Structures are given as structure tokens and as C-alpha cells.
Chains A and B, each alone.
Chain A
Amino acid sequence: MSALLPLPTKRDEAWRYADLKALEAVWPKLDGPEKIAVAAGESASRQISVLPIIDGVGIVDLDVTIGDGANFALHVLAVAADYGRIQVKVTLGKGAHFELGGAILGSGTQTLEIVTETIHAEPNATSNQVVRSVLAGKATGSFLGKINVARDAQKTDAAQSVKAMLLDRTATANAKPELEIFADDVKCAHGATVGELDKQALFYMASRGLPPELAQKLMLQAFIADAFVSMDDDAAREAIESKALEALEHLS
């Protein structure tokens, strides 16, 4: 049914990145967010490589609280859904760390989004978000990263790196950092690029005997690997990377 409905976040600027409440009219099945609490001093991680898709719509909604000195690593793959969104709200305690690695891999008319709201509520907390998108056809991939640094959250160090690779000129990538900073002694770095596969590199690889599809695969594999390089658990990293590779094969 949903495939017949317009995808509100695709073209309309007012709807793009709309919060999930605003989408309830279109997809009324939404429950509240899943709550995750990481106790002070603990480490936790979560990998999401498959979205819970119903009627083409796959939504993950997380509300994470990271206690003082605790650590939470989230690695996600936004793939396969007609409309997919991974939405995460994170509140960091004193000296806590949040790590996000995400890949958005879409083709056809897919609309895939990663939306984060990172609240640095206390001092000395750090966050690092790396998102890599590969988009083909008429797909749209979006990242919205809100970072909120409270008045007392001195020595906050928050970083975002967002890069998108368009395989076709008809694909769309959106990247929007949104920083709201009330403390004065903080570091908030954000970088975003949108590009195409390096044609010089493709010819160089062909000149060594690599067929174009294999050259492209090697380059895309390297490109999205950035999103998962922060994973300590080799087996978990290989699992999510192999899911990502599967999705890449379907793109071109």
C-alpha cells in the first residue's frame, strides 16, 4: 500500500527530515522509540543490518541514554526499503562516547535516511558519526545530524563525516548538519561531500586488467568501509560489511 503513497520526504523541502510524528498520517503503524540505556562506565554496541520492513517501509527508532563514562557504538545499514529511516536520539552523560557508523545504499526510487539527534548534556563527552552513501538510479539518501551542546557541556568533542557517491546523475544525496551549541569550550567538526567515482582511478584499474564492474566494486567497498572501521569486533564488522556488499551488488 505504501508504495502507492507519495514519499513525503523525497522532494518536498518542508517534509524532508520531517519527524516521525509527522509521518504517522502516512504510516500509522509506528510505536514509540525503543529505549536503550547504557549504565555508567559500561560499553554497549548494536548493529542493524536489516530494517524491519512492512509494506516497503522500514523504520528504526532508538532513544539511547549513555551514562557517565559509558560508551555506545551503533553501526547501521540503510538498505532494501522503499522508504527507510534510521532515527536515533542519543543523550550523553559526563565523559561518555557515542560512535555511529552508517551506510546508505539505494537505487531505483528508494528513499533512505539516517537522522540523528545527539545531545551533549554534560561535560567531556565525545561523539563521532561517519556516514557513507552510495546512490544509483533515482534514489534519495539523506543524513540529518543534529548536535545539541548544553550550556554546561564544556570540552564536548563532536565530529561528523558524511560522504556520498552518486552512481547516476539522477540520484540525490542530502547532508545536513545542524549544530546548536550553548557551551563555549567545545569542538564540533563536520564535513560533507558528494561526488562520483573517480574516472581516472577507473581507467588506471582497467589498465591493469580489472573489468569495470570489478573496479567499481573495489572502489565502493573501500568507500563504505570507512563507516565500519570503528568496529572492534571483527566478526560483527565482517557480517555487516558482507550485507553491505550484497546491497552494493544490487545497485549497479
Chain B
Amino acid sequence: MLKIENLHANVGDTEILKGLSLELNAGEIHAIMGPNGAGKSTLSYALGGRPGYEITSGSVNFDGQDLLALDPHERAAAGIFLGFQYPVEIPGVSNLQFLRESLNSQRKSRGEEPLSGAEFIKLAKEKAGLLKMDMDMLKRAVNVGFSGGEKKRNEMVQMGIIDPKLAILDETDSGLDIDALRVVGSGINAIMRKPDKAVLLITHYQRLLELVKPDFVHVLAGGRIVKTGGPELALQLEEEGYEAVAA
């Protein structure tokens, strides 16, 4: 589904990704762990097409398309969802309006009919319920006045509504208490644990991986993948630290 080959990316004048290669197939969940500053967030932004993250060489193929040739909104329509480490507040724009416009823009670019107001509300209610989020919060402005945990939960409600093929989740577990982590974990499983979907989970901690069991665990250090293993690698990292494992 996603094939990243020898990706190099700069932020400003600094090279952050230095030849990163990674392949994800449909039905797989991959975890990326790594020390601070390794390039984890840069990887997610580079895949999302954020301005300021310049790809200097390498290629990214998503479902047979050259991902890097697409604008950010076209990547979303192609089926990529970016879960933000720090979800952005948009004053004055309600969650429901934002998501309906987003979803219908995606549908339009795929040649599908837009959802009616009633169809959309039904879908939003179902996904909010899955993440145990009050519908009233979806009527409020996007992330404005939300706690850190509520913002992350809102990311997952958005993911549920948009129903992507590939979710790239950047530290979705940070800022969550134990109960919220459980809700978010089972949300990810319910929405994305399917044979035609894949997840790239960026995390610092083993605790999310106990809930969302990865098929592969990669260690990202110094801008490239330095080690790949199964779920046991995450446990080893937790016990021994990055330095010992990635050396």
C-alpha cells in the first residue's frame, strides 16, 4: 500500500530524514518508535505534504500513485489520514461543518456523491459514540477549548468519519489518561484493523501497543530505520532503551 524508498527530507537547511525506507501492506499495523529528534514527526509531515518539509530525494508510492506529486488535500482524498500530535484549533468553524465539508470534498474528488446533512449526522453520531465523545463537542468550534485528551479523541472521531485507507498517527497516545487511552486504542482497532487498511503508529511508549497490537515495530534513529522486528522489539526497547537496542 505504501512504499517509501530512500527518503531524504529537510526542514529549513537541516536534513532530518536521511534515507528512510519503509513498506506497509494492506492489513498491517506498523509502529515507529525512536528517541526525541529522530525524525518521527518529520516523517508524518513529509508524508502529509506539510509546507516547509522539503523532500530532497527518494520516492513515496501510495497505492500505485506518486504521493509526493500530490497536494496535501489530494493526499487526503487518495486515502491518507494524518493524526496530529498537536491538533490545531480553528476558531469559529464547527467540527461538524469542517468534517462534512472535508468529507464531501474528498468524495467529490473521487467522483462520489456528497453525503446529505442527515446522512452525515448519522455517520458522525456513530463515530462519536465509538470514541465516547459527546455530540455537543462536535457542534463546537474545532478543538477550541478542548483538553489535550479531548483533542486526541476528536482526531480519532475525524478518522472514523473520514474512513481512510492509511492512518499515520503521530503520538496519538500522548496526553491521554488511562481510560482515554483505552477508548482511543479500541477506536483505532475498530476503525482501522481491517484487511484493506493500514496504520503507521508513531509512539514513544509500549502502552498504546498493548492495545493496538502492531505487526511490525521499527526503530527510527538519525533519520532512518535502524532496526525492524515484531512486537517483541517494543518490549525490548522499553526495557533496554533506544541506545542499547539501536546501536
Contacts and interface: CB of A to CB of B under 8 A. Distances in A.
Interface of A: 198-201, 203-212, 214-215, 218-219, 221-223, 225-226
Interface stretch (B82-90, B185-193, B220-228, B236-244): B82-90
B92 A206 contact: no
B51 A209 contact: no
B215 to A, nearest CB: 25
Nearest to B84: A204
A26 B103 CA distance: 52
Contacts, number: 77
Interface string B73-84: 101110001101
B98 A206 contact: no
A207 B71 CA distance: 9
The main secondary structure of chain A at its interface with chain B is helix
B25 interface: no
B27 interface: no
A201 B105 contact: no
A14 B147 CA distance: 49
B93 A209 contact: no
Contact of A207 (B76, B89, B93, B103): B76
Contact of A225 (B76, B87, B92): B92
Contact of B101 (A200, A204, A210): A210
A205 B93 CA distance: 11
B92 A223 contact: yes
B76 A219 contact: no
A207 B72 contact: yes
Contacts of A206: 49, 71-73, 76
Contacts of B98: 205, 208, 210, 218
B102 interface: yes
Contacts of B75: 207
B162 interface: yes
A173 B99 CA distance: 32
B61 interface: no
Interface of B: 48-51, 71-73, 75-77, 81-82, 84, 87-93, 97-99, 101-103, 105-106, 109, 141, 158, 162
B12 to A, nearest CB: 15
A132 to B, nearest CB: 11
A203 B76 contact: no
Nearest to B109: A209
Contacts of B81: 207
26 contacts: A200-B88, A201-B88, A201-B90, A203-B50, A203-B51, A203-B72, A206-B49, A206-B73, A206-B76, A207-B72, A208-B76, A208-B98, A208-B102, A208-B158, A209-B77, A210-B98, A210-B101, A210-B102, A211-B73, A212-B73, A214-B105, A218-B93, A218-B97, A219-B92, A222-B141, A225-B92
Given A209-B102, A209-B103, A204 B87 contact: yes
A223 to B, nearest CB: 7
Contacts of A209: 73, 76-77, 102-103, 105-106, 109, 162
Nearest to B77: A209
Nearest to A220: B92
Contacts of B88: 198, 200-201, 203-204
Contacts of A214: 101, 105
Given A203-B88, A207-B76, A209-B77, 20 more contacts: A200-B88, A204-B84, A204-B87, A204-B90, A206-B49, A207-B48, A207-B72, A207-B73, A207-B82, A208-B76, A208-B98, A208-B158, A209-B102, A210-B101, A211-B73, A211-B105, A214-B105, A218-B90, A219-B93, A222-B93
Nearest to A229: B92
Contacts of A225: 92
A209 B79 CA distance: 9
B181 to A, nearest CB: 23
Contacts of B73: 206-207, 209-212, 215
Contacts of B103: 209
A24 B42 CA distance: 59
B49 to A, nearest CB: 8
B65 to A, nearest CB: 16
Contacts of A215: 73
Given A203-B72, A206-B71, A222 B90 contact: yes
A164 B81 CA distance: 33
A209 B73 CA distance: 4
Contacts of B77: 209
Contacts of A199: 51
Contact of A208 (B51, B91, B92, B162): B162
